[in-house]
Amino acid sequence: MPKDEFEWIQQHTPERYSHPGVIEGIGDDAAVYAAEEGFDEILCVDTMVEGVHFKKQTMSAYDTGYKALAVNISDIAAMGGIPVYYIVSIAVPSSWTDEELQNLYNGMGELAEEYHMDMIGGDTVSSDTGLVISVTVHGRVEKGRHLVRRNARPGDIVFVTNPTGRSAAGLEWLLEHGRDSACPQPFQTLTAYHRKPRPRVKEGRVIAGVAPSASLNDISDGLASEANEIAEASGVHLQLNKQDIPVAGELEEGFPEDTYWDWIFYGGEDFELIGTVREKDWPLLKHSMKQEGLSLYDIGRVKEGDSLVTLLDGKREERLPKKGYNHFQS
């Protein structure tokens, strides 16, 4: 880990900030920023633990930093918001070199630059086990426009932004072969979905703008788990149609059907968006997404009844349980 924390802070203090709202950034006991009139503030935090959420075997330091920020930006996207600032706290073991730590921050910096985000604080401590990285992201959304899970109503259309399951497939390859092995197609695409997920901020902004009564959730623990969270929060039954759920070509071409459907429903770490929208708002939302070059799939309907999720496959209907996929479970 860094020998001098203050020197480390100085190395990562930006010369300028993207947002004029920063009053005091890195260098004091806390950051100070001005709230923007007409917006509500959003805060979220996620923590990644080495050996639990990532391994050096599957993720470079650069990819780990990138993903640590991406998973938080995805939470902002699920509220229909804009990511603005972030704070980073890391617990560093002696097994991590200064070069690796620099690459960790470089990974975050690449994604932050894309979204014009400013790092405005953080903390660095030592760890006796693996590396722990905790990222807090501040975002904003226009007043009255934030999206939540509890907005689903009977009659709504259930949608998803893109196919799921690719991240889990990529992780399976990385666990078997390691990140330094030559990676053929389609596995290059699949491993990229796992190591450098794309937060769906633009999609969330379109949904919030066109359908502020929609429900929305990001897919961190699998399509089935996140659909169940919407069902529970809204007190409704989500019925998904199997034939309408998109399947990535890389999965259809390279894996048995039972395997890729398990990844689609329970693989997790796709960071796509699943939600519901009033039927009357669907045509405009679909059109608006198409105009922006974005995908949106109608995958089911919201029904009255108990808080659960079912899968309709022809005439057969079965319950989809709320469970996630533990990638590193022995």
Query: Which amino acids are annotated as binding site, given as ranges?
Result: 29, 46, 53, 75, 105, 122-123, 149, 218, 220-221, 269, 325
Whole-number Å distance between alpha carbons of 157 and 149: 14
Q: How far apart are the first and last CA of the chain?
A: 29
Q: Outline where DSSP puts E strands in the chain.
A: 22-24, 32-33, 39-49, 82-92, 118-126, 132-142, 157-160, 215-218, 237-241, 273-277, 297-303, 308-313, 316-319
Residues 200 and 83: beta-carbon distance below 8 Å: no
| Beta-carbon contacts of residue 324 (< 8 Å; ≥ 6 apart) | 221, 222, 225, 266, 268
Whole-number Å distance between alpha carbons of 76 and 81: 5
Phi, psi for residue 169 in degrees, rounded to 5: -65, -40
Task: For residue 138, give both structure tokens.
Answer: 């501040």
Whole-number Å distance between alpha carbons of 91 and 20: 30
Q: Closest Cα partner for 147 from 84, 245, 213?
A: 213
Phi, psi for residue 34 in degrees, rounded to 5: -95, 130
Residues 254 and 172: beta-carbon distance below 8 Å: no
Q: Which residues are annotated as a binding site for Mg(2+)?
A: 29, 46, 75, 123, 218, 221
Task: For residue 177, give both structure tokens.
Answer: 């072969």
Q: How far from 148 is each of 111, 211, 217, 224, CA to CA, in Å?
A: 25, 12, 7, 17
Q: In what order do the strands lie in the sheet with 237-241?
A: 215-218, 273-277, 157-160, 297-303, 237-241, 308-313, 316-319
Q: Which residues are annotated as a binding site for ATP?
A: 105, 122-123, 149, 220
| Beta-carbon contacts of residue 170 (< 8 Å; ≥ 6 apart) | 187, 189, 190, 191, 192, 193, 194, 195
Q: Which residues are annotated as a binding site for substrate?
A: 53, 269, 325
